[in-house]
Amino acid sequence: MRTPLLLMATIFCQLAATAQVDSLHAYRIQQFHHLALGENYGYQQLVALANDVGPRLAGSEGGAKGVTWSIATMKRLGLDTVFTQEVQVPHWERGAQERGVIWHGKERIAIPTTALGGSVGTPEKGLRGKVVEITDFKQLDLLGEKQLKGKIVFFNIPMNPNFINTGFAYGQAVRQRWAGAIEASKYGAKAVIIRSVTLRQDDNPHTGSMSYAGVKDSIPAAAISTNAANQLSKLLKDNSNIEFELWMACQHHGMVTSHTVIGELRGSVHPEQYLVVGGHLDSWDLGDGSQDDGAGIMHALEVAHLYTKLGIRPKRTLRVVFFQNEEFGLQGGRRYAELADSLNENHYFAIESDMGSGIPRGFSFDTNSERVAKIGKTVGPYFEPYSIYEFKSGGSGADLSPLNKDKILLAGLRPESQRYFDYHHSVLDHISSVHPREFALGAAALASMVYLIDQLDLAD
Ligand SMILES: [Zn+2]
């Protein structure tokens, strides 16, 4: 074991020694890290957001409180400008009654159940039916209306544990959540229940948005915990007459006005060019949304704090953007891009943090791999002391996706992903799941990338 490690250490030192590193920039990046780890302003604001506001579902009272809180917090930080962009967001309420029960003969088993965001409710007395398990969407066609009409379709498609990046596994499994009701209703199903989209085995159901796009019958859609999904699947193997009963009181109340919140730190050389650093202000309602995406917006706010506290002016105008309603319609991101376009704003670079508060592993850039390799080669040596090595071509963030990626370099912070979906959209998405030092490292990494792109003109 000793020789390979020693060899690796030697290669590492040689790399560091030969790399082109400007000592002022390296020093700034060290300052970002020291200040973030030492003071952890962003984490303190995240604690305040969790305690003073809590869950921030767009359109809800908590959502509105989040907007007011964010404006006040940005103003306190002493940014040059703080303003909002108005957006229309859906007002959907979960309601109090939310229960699921397996009927196994005369035995009644209570099941941890949560309505999917946007679902219609059940009749007040509940809804009961035989269950048909689906482990692949293709089975719907094979079973057809004959076997699905009047049934409750149970989508039991686990996240694939073999992906090292859990985001890929999520991307594959999440279709059952957003399209399950659409597909099952085509065959006359009366409701759908889905396996919670998480790798963790526990009793916490995970919510998330679902859609009825293009179907005439809106059927209720709920998630059950992974433990419950395994239990139900096992029971169905022995007895196909198992029934499920569901009560949900969720309701739509139309559209309401909400806001994206923006703060600016004016650039010293090209104030007319923008560097966007953002996340989304809204969250789901089961936890307090500290991971998704409280961590992301506080990472972004910490970037502005690090600049102001250290007395550094960006060359271009730094825009901290708390996008409204990523979870439930992407209205904030869409409106931002529309306005950027109609006002002819000159965006140079935009980066989002929306993958939680874990240890930063690297960055993903929404551009071709040759360009990413070039950027990685330049910035890599600066990130090496902080154990950040990943510079990949890929997505940026949902809120940035409506921006024109042919004109603007878009990127996303990529933290360690193993635990993220344990919390995601569940009661476990809570401030207690955020590790202060891991959070601080993420904020410092974000600030360092923004700084290097700006100083070295890497998005030209
Ligand atoms: Zn998110």
- Write out pLDDT tens, residues 36-64: 999 999 999 999 999 999 999 999 999 99
* pLDDT score recorded for residue 8: 44
CATH number for the domain harbouring residue 173: 3.50.30.30
- Write out pLDDT tens, residues 173-192: 999 999 999 999 999 999 99
Minimal CA–CA distance to 283: which of 98, 42, 60? 60
Does residue 111 sit in the same domain as residue 85? no
Ligand 1 centroid distance, CA of 280 (Å): 7
Asked whether residue 14 is assigned to any structural domain, the reply reads: no
Question: How many structural domains is the chain composed of?
Answer: 2
Domain that holds residue 78: 22-92+254-455
Structure tokens at 445: 């990494």
Examine residue 454 and say whether the peptide bond preceding it is cis (omega within 30 degrees of 0). no
Asked whether residue 119 is assigned to any structural domain, the reply reads: yes
Confidence of residue 19 (pLDDT cuts 50, 70, 90): low
Quick check: 215 pLDDT over 90? no
Ligand 1 centroid distance, CA of 424 (Å): 8
* pLDDT score recorded for residue 5: 47
Does residue 260 sit in the same domain as residue 132? no
Confidence of residue 9 (pLDDT cuts 50, 70, 90): very low
Does residue 309 sit in the same domain as residue 381? yes
Ligand 1 centroid distance, CA of 353 (Å): 9
Does residue 163 sit in the same domain as residue 224? yes
Confidence of residue 3 (pLDDT cuts 50, 70, 90): very low
Contact 349, 453 (CB under 8 A): yes
Ligand 1 centroid distance, CA of 117 (Å): 14
Does residue 346 sit in the same domain as residue 414? yes
70 three-state secondary structure:
helix
**Phi then psi dihedrals of residue 81, to 5 deg:** -140, 140
Ligand 1 centroid distance, CA of 283 (Å): 7
Contact 176, 157 (CB under 8 A): yes
Quick check: 201 pLDDT over 50? yes
- Write out pLDDT tens, residues 225-266: 999 999 999 999 999 999 999 999 999 999 999 999 999 999
Ligand 1 centroid distance, CA of 260 (Å): 15
* pLDDT score recorded for residue 6: 46
Quick check: 14 pLDDT over 50? no
CATH number for the domain harbouring residue 304: 3.40.630.10
Does residue 181 sit in the same domain as residue 264? no
Does residue 106 sit in the same domain as residue 88? no
Ligand 1 centroid distance, CA of 268 (Å): 32
Pairing of strands 81-93, 251-265: antiparallel
Determine what percent of the chain is predicted with pLDDT higher than 90. Answer: 93
Quick check: 1 pLDDT over 80? no
Ligand 1 centroid distance, CA of 269 (Å): 33
Does residue 43 sit in the same domain as residue 157? no
Does residue 141 sit in the same domain as residue 79? no
Contact 141, 187 (CB under 8 A): no
Asked whether residue 197 is assigned to any structural domain, the reply reads: yes
DSSP annotation of 388 = -
Quick check: 87 pLDDT over 70? yes
Ligand 1 centroid distance, CA of 325 (Å): 9
Contact 262, 83 (CB under 8 A): yes
Does residue 58 sit in the same domain as residue 199? no
Ligand 1 centroid distance, CA of 356 (Å): 8
Contact 290, 431 (CB under 8 A): yes
Ligand 1 centroid distance, CA of 54 (Å): 15
Q: What is the residue whose two structure tokens read 């290097």?
A: 452
Structure tokens at 328: 């439930």
Query: Cα(415)–Cα(293) distance, rounded to whole angstroms?
Result: 13
Minimal CA–CA distance to 401: which of 355, 351, 449, 440? 351
Ligand 1 centroid distance, CA of 301 (Å): 16
Residue 154 pairs in a beta bridge with 133, 193
